[in-house]
C-alpha cells in the first residue's frame, strides 16, 4: 500500500452536534462513550470476545484505551460521564499499530444494550474487506448518519499523544454530499464509528480519523480494516 502523506487528526474530542452526547439508559451503537480518563468518541458496535465468550464494546484505542480494567463510561467524560456512576464496561484489549486503532471493553451489565445502530436500523452481523467504489454508511456521536464512497487505500501516518507516529493501514471515504444530513462526513467525536456497506449488514471499517477543519470542501474520513481488527482483538460479530 502507498503511504499517504497528510495532516490526519484523531476524531475524538469535544464537538457536540447532537443529543447522542447524552446519557442513554439503553446502550446502542452511535452514542458517546470513552475511557473515564479521556474525552469522548463513539460506541462502534457490540461484539463477542472469543476468549471469554462475553459481549463487549468495540471502538478506537484512542477512545477506550489506557490500562487494562479501566472504567469505560457512557457518555464520555467530556459529555458529563463519570466513573463509577456511568461505568458500562471495563477495558479488555487494544491495538495501536499498522493493523488499526482499536479496543474492546467487556460490558458490566449495568445497563441493557441494543445492537441496532441508531438511525440506521442495522445490526452489523458480518465483516468483509472493502473495495474501492463501495458506498458505505456510519452512525456517529457527532455527525450522526453519514454516507460516503471509498476512494482509496493506503498507509496513513497518525500522530498520537507523546509525538508518537503510527502508520495505520486503512482506506479513505469521501462524502456523497447530496445525501448527507450534515456537511461533515466525520468530525470530532465520531472516532470508533463503524462503516457498513450500504444495503447490507456487513461492517468493513472502523473510523479513526478525518479532515480536521469544519469546512466540507475537502472532507474525508479514514478507517482501518475491520477484518484485521477482529482478528487481532480476537472478537466476532454479535449475532442477535
- pLDDT tens digit string along 35-47? 999 999 999 999 9
Percentage of the chain exceeding pLDDT 90: 80
Region 221-235: mean pLDDT is 98
- pTM exceeding the 0.85 threshold for the entire prediction: yes
- pLDDT tens digit string along 86-118? 999 999 999 999 999 999 999 999 999 999 999
β-pairing verdict for 202-210 and 126-127: parallel
Per-residue pLDDT at 6: 46
Per-residue pLDDT at 216: 52
The whole-chain average pLDDT of the chain stands at: 89
- pLDDT tens digit string along 46-95? 999 999 999 999 999 999 999 999 999 999 999 999 999 999 999 999 99
Amino acid at each position: 500500500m502507498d503511504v499517504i502523506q497528510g495532516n490526519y487528526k484523531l476524531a475524538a474530542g469535544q464537538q457536540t452536534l447532537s443529543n447522542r452526547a447524552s446519557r442513554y439508559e439503553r446502550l446502542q451503537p452511535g452514542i458517546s462513550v470513552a475511557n473515564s480518563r479521556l474525552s469522548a468518541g463513539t460506541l462502534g458496535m457490540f461484539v463477542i470476545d472469543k476468549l471469554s465468550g462475553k459481549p463487549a464494546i468495540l471502538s478506537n484505542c484512542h477512545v477506550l484505551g489506557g490500562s487494562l480494567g479501566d472504567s469505560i463510561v457512557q457518555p464520555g467524560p467530556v459529555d458529563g460521564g463519570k466513573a463509577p456512576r456511568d461505568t458500562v464496561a471495563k477495558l479488555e484489549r487494544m491495538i495501536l499499530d499498522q493493523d488499526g486503532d482499536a479496543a474492546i471493553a467487556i460490558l458490566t451489565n449495568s445497563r441493557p444494550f441494543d445492537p441496532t445502530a441508531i438511525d440506521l436500523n442495522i445490526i452489523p452481523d458480518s465483516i468483509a474487506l472493502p473495495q474501492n467504489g463501495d458506498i458505505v454508511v456510519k452512525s456517529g456521536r457527532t455527525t450522526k448518519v453519514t454516507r460516503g464512497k471509498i476512494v482509496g487505500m493506503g498507509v496513513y501516518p497518525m500522530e498520537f499523544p507523546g509525538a508518537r507516529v503510527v502508520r495505520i493501514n486503512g482506506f479513505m471515504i469521501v462524502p456523497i454530499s447530496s445525501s448527507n444530513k450534515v456537511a461533515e462526513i466525520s468530525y470530532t467525536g465520531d472516532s470508533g464509528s463503524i462503516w457498513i456497506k450500504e444495503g447490507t449488514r456487513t461492517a468493513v471499517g472502523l473510523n479513526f480519523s478525518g479532515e480536521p477543519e469544519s469546512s466540507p470542501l475537502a472532507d474525508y474520513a479514514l478507517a482501518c480494516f475491520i477484518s484485521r481488527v477482529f482478528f487481532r482483538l480476537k472478537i466476532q460479530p454479535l449475532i442477535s
